[in-house]
Amino acid sequence: MTDEPFVDYYDLLQLSPNADEDTIDRVFRHLAKKCHPDIGEASDETRFRRLTRARAILGDPETRAGYDAKYQEYWNRKWKLASEATHGTAFAEDTATRQRILSLLYVQRRTDMRMPGLGEYEISRLLRTPVEMVEFHLWYLREKRLVYRLDTGQLAISALGVDRIERDQLHISDDRLLSTGSAGMPPGGWGAADAAPSSGALEDGQRA
């Protein structure tokens, strides 16, 4: 398996994950005849190749076992997403996380205008939030033009972001604020695994 997007071959073949090999063969032949490259205008070569690939993977016990493990992982993730979507509290937590990120970038810029930005991994460490979640929230904040990327590659708060924070007030706990006494340094100094933000010229314009 590669890093290509996961394909639900059972859904593609309209089969149950418990289907036996004879059923897989029969359904494959039925579907493949409808889109075979040789049938003329009704052909669909892309779909035919996908069906053939599905048949090759599910028709071999060894490759099917490996695929079934990934299939289970895929649906576990899907069910988790469905659970979060219906739970409701995740949305409130996301809003709070974005507010904390924006507050952190506000304090960074106010502390040192020469180094107004922070990187994704720095924000992740300072807020103790998985970097994958930080990337999602930064995407949202950039789309809203509340933050933008500097020439250094770091993220900085925009004037719109400053207005938002000053309107809503700061929503970040004291132990995670950047120290105003040291440019870009959190309380207690940078740990061995952390690095202070690299210097870089502040970009005059703002980019989404």
Where are the domains positioned within the chain? Answer: 9-87, 90-176
**Residue 142: is it exposed, middle or buried by C-beta count within 10 angstroms (0-12/13-18/19+)?**
middle
| pTM strictly above 0.75 | no
- In this predicted structure, what is the pLDDT of residue 83? 66
Q: Which residues of the chain have pLDDT under 70?
A: 1-3, 81-92, 170-208
- In this predicted structure, what is the pLDDT of residue 188? 44
Task: Please report, for residues 125, 128, 194, 198, the alpha-carbon distance to residue 184 in angstroms, rounded to integers and kept in the order given.
Answer: 13, 17, 12, 10
Q: What is the CATH number of domain 9-87?
A: 1.10.287.110
- In this predicted structure, what is the pLDDT of residue 88? 57
- In this predicted structure, what is the pLDDT of residue 49? 92
Please, what is the average pLDDT of the chain? 78
Domain 90-176 listed as CATH 2.40.160.20: no
pLDDT digits (tens, 9 = 90+) for 91-137: 668 888 888 899 989 999 988 888 899 988 888 888 887 888 888 89
Q: Compute φ and ψ for 147, nearest 5 degrees.
A: -135, 165
Which of 59, 47, 63, 60 lies closest to 1, judged by CA?
63
